[in-house]
Chain A
Amino acid sequence: EAAVTQSPRSKVAVTGGKVTLSCHQTNNHDYMYWYRQDTGHGLRLIHYSYVADSTEKGDIPDGYKASRPSQENFSLILELASLSQTAVYFCASSDANTGQLYFGEGSKLTVL
């Protein structure tokens, strides 16, 4: 069974603070993604990566950085967290043959 795990599952951060969300996959997938989920906006792509040590901007990259130090790990970094970044964040990896996404459990971030 494909496995994508995220940490932390829930976090409260202060405005202006730094937040790092981590994602680990054991699927041996090359592609990994970070999405945010907001009511009324669906799932929006922040950053993605198709190989270690390289990341690409998604549709809403402003205010976020990403890091892919290895095939298995993909982090999302908020250098200066803002109230508008309160959301649920999902990491996913994808099977190159089918295009199917495998999602993690989600990380609920609340910025106060």
Chain B
Amino acid sequence: GDSVTQKEGLVTLTEGLPVMLNCTYQTIYSNAFLFWYVHYLNESPRLLLKSSTDNKRTEHQGFHATLHKSSSSFHLQKSSAQLSDSALYYCALSDRRLAGNTGKLIFGLGTTLQVQP
């Protein structure tokens, strides 16, 4: 079945260093969409990024990710971490099997990013 793997449960790094959170996926559907959701403490999870076409980079709020279908990956990156980036990050897969453009989202286990001064 479909799955999303986030191999790091916790990433701790110093402010100013680059961020890379890994996300790989498995699906038999060629038309899959990948998402990154961010969950700040005491807030609701919200969308950070959505994949575009194969090998095209998408950016939002200083973060970026590129969908690589050849390696089934959608890693989240940022050039310089800020203290305010500390949160739980989920990678999610939508296979769009349901009606219209909406598909069930399958979430990875999440990666907690802790940015230290």
Binding site for B on A (CB under 8 A): 4, 30-31, 33, 35, 40-45, 48, 50, 58-59, 90, 94-106
Contacts and interface: CB of A to CB of B under 8 A. Distances in A.
Contacts, number: 64
Contact of B46 (A59, A97, A103): A103
B108 A31 contact: no
Given A42-B90, A103-B44, A94 B107 contact: no
Contacts of A105: 43-44
Interface string B22-63: 000000000001010100000111110010000000000000
Contacts of B90: 42-43
Contact of A104 (B35, B44, B107, B108): B44
B61 to A, nearest CB: 15
